[in-house]
Amino acid sequence: MTTQHDHSHSNRTAVGGDSAALVHSSDEEQATSSARRDGSRESAPPPRLSLTSLPAEILDEIFSYVHYDSWTEPITKAMINKELFELVRPHYFHTMQVLADEDDRVIVGLLTRPKNSMFVKDLHAQFISTFQHVQCAVLRQTRCLTRLSILFTDNGAECALPLWFFDALRTLRHLAFLKIYQDERDEPVKGFSFERDVPSLRSLETHARGQLSICAPGLSKLMHLKATLFAPAGPAIPWQTLRQLDVHLCRERRTADDPILRDFVSHLKDSCSISPIPLQILELDVNRRKSIDSSALIRIVEVLRAPLLTDLAIVEIESFAALKSCTFDVQLLSVVRLTLKGRCDCTVVDNARGIRALRALLNLCPATQVLRLEGLRFYVDAARTYRAPGELKGEVLRAIEENDLPFAFPAFAALLFALQQTSVLELNIQLYGGGIRWRRTAHNEVFEAEGWTWGWTIRVSIGRRWRTRFTSRAVGSALDVTR
């Protein structure tokens, strides 16, 4: 006959594993009890591990190895048993993607299983102009959302947000991040304000073809704003609360005195004249006629008063030509990370011009310690011999190992040589699927290189490192960087 004590322990089984792993032996318990009665200081055995004690990151990793035919397939068919399904369900439903014209089963599942909908925290939705009531119900059902990316289409073309969407937003009381791919309107939505109706919102990304104050009213609680400006928007930007601002000045007129730029600089100046703004990260797109608009950049930094600014990024670069002889009368002394993104071709022929432009930006940010170059294409020689990104990374590392970088890749060598006398301690060049990182611990040290690759969310170092040491004579023989 099984005693009640033994029966209680027989139920303590591992989920999908060996039940004996979680069952304490009766002898072990008796010994522990005897030790306690005797006053022994012997500590109790460590608690047994189970799946329920694992952190969310490990559970996500475990679940990533469970294979199934389609991510829309009912997950119960892919799991080992019901207990394990109940355990990983919050992690599986955390991030969902909904395409209204394809994923009807997902929509039905979210509407008919409220418990599952409550687990959805990050929703990426592409809705169509029809079935508005169904789509509105999906948003109302996933009321625990913290992140939402939304796009509406009509006959395959992007369209403005429907009015019912703003009613649904009012029900998302935990929403902290919102990305709007497209919106366009001439009048604000009556009675709607992000500040009042979505008080939890702290980060907004919007591509609004219209005035920001009309498309996104009430932004005073935002800490991060990413916006493409097609019209003057200075009054709508919450300068005194933002910690991060990513702004694309879409100046279609391409004139020197553009109203969008003039409005942006004017309101930035007015805000900074009252008190320094708390901005920490600034990303600017100030291109004009396929080149950095140096005058626009100068006008912005001259009025900027942001003592906490540590990260500056200039994006969508197509040419450094406008900066080759640019000088700044001010300096951003707090910036320690400088990022340049674009599609610029750096070759042996015009690399000297690019080096001078880079020096101008480093003079603007003299305390830069980390320099990131993303999306800038490097070639081997003046003939612009192309190399696949994977091949290029391997060939550069091989050239460093063989101490042949100035002759095999003069553009890279000239760049490193120019950085030796600066405050930069890390140079990170991103290539497709990976990149090369040069580091040094002090300004009088040489750079050490390592390759890295990245998957969806992680970057892994190759492991081997090579020291990059060469003289100015070696660099000069391959490329004159003093011009």
Residue 167 in any domain: the answer is: no
Q: What pLDDT, on the 0 to 100 scale, is given for residue 18?
A: 38
Per the CB < 8 A criterion, the answer to whether 446 and 405 are in contact is no
| DSSP class per residue in 157-226 | EE-PPPHHHHHHHTT-TT--EEEEEEE--SSPPTT--HHHHSTT--EEEEEESS-HHHHS---TT-SEEE
Residue 133 in any domain: the answer is: no
Each residue's pLDDT tens digit, 430-456: 876 678 899 999 988 888 888 877 543
- What lies within 8 Å, CB to CB, of 273 at 6+ separation is none
pTM: 0.76
Residue 47 in any domain: the answer is: no
Residue 479 in any domain: the answer is: yes
| Closest to 169 measured CA to CA, from 131, 212, 207, 217 | 217
Each residue's pLDDT tens digit, 111-130: 887 887 888 899 988 888 77
Helix (H, G, I), strand (E, B) or coil at 267: helix
Q: What pLDDT, on the 0 to 100 scale, is given for residue 450?
A: 84
Q: What pLDDT, on the 0 to 100 scale, is given for residue 174?
A: 94
Per the CB < 8 A criterion, the answer to whether 233 and 268 are in contact is no
Each residue's pLDDT tens digit, 62-90: 666 555 444 444 444 444 455 656 666 67
Go through 119-128 and write b for each residue having 16 or more CB atoms within 10 A of its CB, e for each that does not: bbbbbebbbb
| 200 pLDDT above the threshold of 70 | yes
Per the CB < 8 A criterion, the answer to whether 436 and 397 are in contact is yes
Residue 361 in any domain: the answer is: yes
Residue 384 in any domain: the answer is: yes
- The count of structural domains within the chain is 2
From CA 445, how far away is CA 463, in angstroms rounded?
20
| DSSP class per residue in 404-441 | -HHHH-HHHHHHHHHHTTSS--EEEEEETTEEEEEE-S
Each residue's pLDDT tens digit, 392-404: 777 888 888 888 8
Over residues 192-197, the mean pLDDT reads 95
From CA 174, how far away is CA 123, in angstroms rounded?
13
From CA 286, how far away is CA 58, in angstroms rounded?
42
From CA 59, how far away is CA 235, in angstroms rounded?
46
| 384 pLDDT above the threshold of 60 | no
List 150's β-bridge partners, or say none.
Answer: 125, 180
Question: For residues 334 and 51, which has the higher predicted lDDT (pLDDT)?
Answer: 334
Each residue's pLDDT tens digit, 1-35: 444 444 433 333 233 333 333 334 444 445 455 55
| 478 pLDDT above the threshold of 50 | no
Q: What pLDDT, on the 0 to 100 scale, is given for residue 427?
A: 93
Residue numbers of the domain that contains 16: 1-34
Q: What pLDDT, on the 0 to 100 scale, is given for residue 26?
A: 45
Over residues 332-358, the mean pLDDT reads 77
Confidence of residue 273 (pLDDT cuts 50, 70, 90): very high
Residue 236 in any domain: the answer is: no
Q: What pLDDT, on the 0 to 100 scale, is given for residue 239?
A: 94
Question: For residues 331 and 474, which has the higher predicted lDDT (pLDDT)?
Answer: 331
Q: What pLDDT, on the 0 to 100 scale, is given for residue 128?
A: 82
Confidence of residue 385 (pLDDT cuts 50, 70, 90): low
User: How far is it between the farthest Cα atoms of the chain?
Assistant: 95
Residue 160 in any domain: the answer is: no
Average pLDDT, the chain: 75
Each residue's pLDDT tens digit, 312-334: 999 988 777 777 777 888 999 99
